[in-house]
Amino acid sequence: MSSVESSESQPAPLRDAATVVLARDGADGIEVFLQRRVQQMAFAGGMTVFPGGGVDARDADADLSWNGPDAAWWADAFNTTEETAQALVCAAVRETFEECGVLLATDDDGVFADPGALDDDRTKLVDKSLSFAEFLRARGLTLRADLLRPIAHWITPVNEKRRYDTRFFLAALPEGQDADDKTSEAEIARWASARAALDAWRSGKHFLLPPTWAQLTHIAEFATVEELLAAEPAIEPIQPDVKPGAGLAGLSFPGSDRYFAALGDQKVPDIKL
């Protein structure tokens, strides 16, 4: 085998990422905030997802105010190192603020900052001219890790060109805040009940990749956000197996039979994996 062939056969490196399921109680059950990514996105373009993104190396900065379970607790929950755990929690809070304007951080009195007054900071976080730790320190804010819960861990299949080691977090929408659509990464952003999002997927109105489908399926089992937050799901890393050349239709993962059965006659997008 040539060196070129050997190189091409190696899986792409994994990048740590955090995804946040924002939840609130609604008339038709628990609602979650969903975004349909623009088609031009290199990863999951056109898919309906939760807010989130890759870890910034600066997210591991230890010099910040923190309230709630410490890095060691999160490391145990997500089976990783303390440094990576802190970076993941910071990325979860940062990405949520960047992508939908919800900020899980408070001042010394436990009062949530007004996200609307922090638009300049949000812009600088997005263009990376400001680190998350710098932002919190400058504003006198404390990261509220106590408002997050670990919920799942998914790893991109080995033959995807962009691969992420993604930890999923759950958070209730803080009182007085709301999510917005001020991100260039999404063409549609809105609240929907977990059941309605699944129904819309089954009827072909949007498309859910397996990790998003799995979280919505889990959430739909609960009546209230309080009950959902109190649950302690077993978190095991899930890396779907893929049949070479079969694309998304060749995925195999826990629950894949239910996933594809629910699609029925809906055409599976030709997503290259």
Token pair for 271: 């997503």
Among 176-180, 214-218, 248-252, 259-263, the minimum mean pLDDT is found in 248-252
Residue 124 lies in a domain: yes
Residue 115 lies in a domain: yes
CATH number for position 145: 3.90.79.10
Using one digit for the tens of pLDDT, what is the confidence trace for 9-23? 688 899 999 999 999
Do 78 and 153 meet the contact criterion of CB atoms below 8 Å apart?
A: yes
- H/E segment holding residue 29: strand 29-37
pLDDT of residue 268: 59
On the question of pLDDT at 273 being above 50, the answer is no
∠ CA 273-194-206, rounded to 5°: 45
Residue 66 lies in a domain: yes
Q: What percent of the chain has pLDDT over 70?
A: 88
Q: Which of helix, strand or coil describes residue 259?
A: helix
Among 22-26, 43-47, 161-165, 187-191, the minimum mean pLDDT is found in 43-47
For all residues of the chain together, what is the average pLDDT? 88
* Alpha helix segments (H runs only) across 56-131: 71-78, 82-100, 119-126
Single pTM value for the model: 0.90
Residue 189, strand partner residues: 35
Q: How far is CA 231 from the centre of its chain?
A: 18
- The domain tally of the chain equals 1
Residue-level length of the chain = 273
* Confidence bin at 6 (pLDDT 50/70/90): very low
38 or 99, higher pLDDT: 99
Which of 221, 194, 191, 222 lies closest to 208, judged by CA?
A: 194
Residue 204 lies in a domain: no
Which of 146, 172, 170 lies closest to 68, judged by CA?
A: 146
∠ CA 221-226-230, rounded to 5°: 80
Residue 150 lies in a domain: yes
> Cβ atoms within 10 A of the Cβ of 194, count?
25
- H/E segment holding residue 229: helix 225-230
Residue 48 lies in a domain: yes
Residue 95 lies in a domain: yes
Q: What is the mean pLDDT of residues 248-267?
A: 81
Which residues span the domain enclosing 107? Answer: 13-175+185-193
Residue 258 to residue 199: CA distance in whole angstroms: 14
* Confidence bin at 4 (pLDDT 50/70/90): very low
Residue 145 lies in a domain: yes
Token pair for 199: 């129904």
Do 131 and 56 meet the contact criterion of CB atoms below 8 Å apart?
A: yes
On the question of pLDDT at 57 being above 70, the answer is yes
